[in-house]
Amino acid sequence: EAGVAQSPRYKIIEKRQSVAFWCNPISGHATLYWYQQILGQGPKLLIQFQNNGVVDDSQLPKDRFSAERLKGVDSTLKIQPAKLEDSAVYLCASGETGQGYNEQFFGPGTRLTVL
Amino acid sequence: GDSVTQMEGPVTLSEEAFLTINCTYTATGYPSLFWYVQYPGEGLQLLLKATKADDKGSNKGFEATYRKETTSFHLEKGSVQVSDSAVYFCALYNAGNNRKLIWGLGTSLAVNP
């Protein structure tokens, strides 16, 4: 079974530029998550989708970050404009839907460096 | 709010040494507890979990016991290998409160041959 796919794996941009990340979840997984992982810290949830609807985006900096999940499958996360403090690994995860906790399966992440 | 505290790294061990990585938590109710592992260049993987008090999660020689009396979920392995070198994250999920994974900061482990 294919895992969660993310691209690109690495991205270097200058501050004030825009960047987009792509995620393809495991087939059949209704829930999709985007996390930001700053070096030396645990992952921070940015946004959670259930199919193509947003369940939680309380920690998404909406002035610069946006995310969409059209058709309830692939998702893109965009940063516009980027700041130095956005340098981090952006992780996508997917999971099944149900009561209680459902295991989240993570992609390899995209490492963003903002210069 | 709920929180997870795990021991700071990096931890450096020789092959076949005993490993303990401490994890304590603060949460209302009865959270589920997890250890995730992140190998170099890879995504996070669930290593083991425990969903109620006194449960022991185990996988790949690693174990952790959910201790409600001490609010702990320490990760242990009797004999580490070089291939265990990774970053280990303790996390909790509280269905009765915010329903998100709450993460520790991670502990880096390096195992030398």
- Give the tokens for residue A10: 């690495």
Chain B residues with CB under 8 Å of A109 CB are 43
Please tell me the distance in Å from B32's CA to the nearest CA on chain A.
8
Chain B residues with CB under 8 Å of A45 CB are 100-101
At A90-106, the pLDDT tens digits run 999 998 876 567 788 99
* Residue A36 burial by Cβ neighbours in a 10 Å radius (0-12, 13-18, 19+): buried
At B9-67, the pLDDT tens digits run 899 999 999 999 999 999 988 899 999 999 988 889 999 999 999 999 999 999 999 99
At A48-80, the pLDDT tens digits run 998 889 999 999 999 999 999 988 899 999 999
Chains A and B: how many Cβ contacts under 8 Å? Answer: 42
